[in-house]
Amino acid sequence: MEQHKTILQALANGSFGNFINESSDMDINIFEELLSSGTVTAIDACTFDGKEYLDPKITLRGREFLNQLTAKPKESAWKVWFKTWWKVIVAVTAVLSSIATIAGYFK
């Protein structure tokens, strides 16, 4: 998926160029996967000499897919719960400790 992300980012940034072929830095097979999934568009200029696509562009679907690839993963419910409740547990422990200390003075 890293190569997919690289190609989509290059297209989104406008740094991809005007064509892609088998001698390009980008993997033509990965580009064809993106093309067949509808995340990119291009003019098919393939010949018997090899594969080549002209005027490659990212589609709206491709931008959405790129956002999914670059988004931070959501935290699990356990992590969210732990981040919140450990503070509550510490506060309750501190209050109970204070009550026990104060009760010790009144004996």
Report pLDDT digits (tens) over 41-69.
999 999 898 999 999 999 999 999 999 98
Query: Which letter does DSSP use for residue 48 in this model?
Result: T
Asked if residue 31 has pLDDT above 80, the reply is yes
Residue 30 is predicted with a pLDDT of 93
Task: Give Cα 106 to chain centroid, integer Å.
Answer: 60
Residue 60 is predicted with a pLDDT of 95
- CATH number (1.10.10, 2.60.40, 1.10.3470, 1.20.1300) of 2-70 reads 1.10.10
**Alpha-carbon distance 96 to 79, whole Å?**
26
Residue 64 CB neighbours (<10 A): 11
Whole-prediction pTM value?
0.65
Identify the residue with better confidence: 101 or 78: 101
Asked if residue 14 has pLDDT above 80, the reply is yes
Asked if residue 77 has pLDDT above 90, the reply is no
